[in-house]
Structure 1
Amino acid sequence: MARPHRWAIYCRKAGNPASPLEENCRGGKPAAAVDSALPTGYAGPMLKRLARQFAAFAGVGAVATAAHYAVLALLVEAASLRASLAALIGFTVGGVVSYVLNRRFTFDSARSHAAAVPRFAVVAGVAFVLTGLLMEVLTTRAGLHWLVAQVITTGIVLVWTFLGNRFWTFRDAA
């Protein structure tokens, strides 16, 4: 069975009869015009949805980051653990929070956990390695305080994880 065009999937999810694409999505088959080009007025709703998702992602990220930073601070300050190792432990705690909240609130994905968890793990694995490398370089080589290094690292990793999760992990299977 052929996979539906991605714009048809967007339209079906929108469920808005006033949508300029609604008539093109009947039966799950987009009109030829939808396959070849976006109809006039389509970019606005798509960008609004993307902006809303990014805002939700950032909100969930704030909660996950709070968990991450709390573990990081506790391990560095109370347990005298090396900042790069403590950051990775905190990252793992934040990752669990992130998966649960993003799946439900940000992307409202219908992809099964069996399909989404391995993809999330790959995106998180890349982010995990980036976190460790950036924290090590920024604290030991650049001489930054661990908290400043973590803020910089968080900003870089945020972009990677949003794009990876938005366009791969939680994209609904067709």
Structure 2
Amino acid sequence: MKKLIEQIMKFGVVGFLCFGIDYGLMIFLTEACRLSYLVSSGISFSVSVIVNYILSLKFVFDTGKDNNKIVEFLIFIVLSVIGLGINQALMWVCVDKLHVHYMISKIGVTGVVMVYNFVTRKLILEKGE
């Protein structure tokens, strides 16, 4: 249990950093570059996924040194694409249907995707103990 709590805390730190990248880049692309919030949200999410992958495998999940890193990366990408789909769908619902500002929507959507990410990565990527 102690290891799980420590792992969740590390995941939180990595997630907070990646959220900063995701949120900041989304706002920059939307406001400064005048991209649609859905386009900028997709781009920013994708950039943060790459950073998250590197940090998660280095500091959060024990995937085993003998694991095939290409297979791990492909699994991570598939899980992330599903996460991107959840992100985009929820952003669309919140902004276009519920009329919540995109900056506020992103915060709530990130919470949902973060839970999905932790559970799926722990169950699928981490080596059995």
Is the shorter-chain TM-score for this pair beyond 0.5, marking a shared fold? yes
Amino acid at match of 1:132: Q
Within 2, Cα distance between the matches of 1:158 and 1:58?
9
Match of 1:152 among 104, 108, 111: 108
Higher helix share: 2
Amino acid at match of 2:112: I
Q: Which has the higher contact order (CA 8 A, sep 6+)?
A: 2
Any gaps of 5 or more consecutive residues in structure 1? 1-46
Within 2, Cα distance between the matches of 1:115 and 1:53?
22
Match of 1:137 in 2: 93
Match of 1:65 in 2: 19
Within 1, Cα distance between the matches of 2:14 and 2:73?
17
Match of 2:10 in 1: 56
Q: Is the contact made by 1:123 and 1:161 (CA closer than 8 Å) also made in structure 2?
A: yes
Any gaps of 5 or more consecutive residues in structure 2? none
Q: How many matched pairs?
A: 127
1:48 Cα offset (Å): 1.3
Q: Is the contact made by 1:85 and 1:132 (CA closer than 8 Å) also made in structure 2?
A: no
Computing the radius of gyration over CA atoms, which structure comes out larger, 1 or 2?
1
Within 2, Cα distance between the matches of 1:136 and 1:82?
11
Q: Is the contact made by 2:62 and 2:127 (CA closer than 8 Å) also made in structure 1?
A: no
Write the deviation string for residues 64-112 of structure 1: whole angstroms up to 9, x where unpaired. Answer: 1111112101111101211121111000010000000000001132233
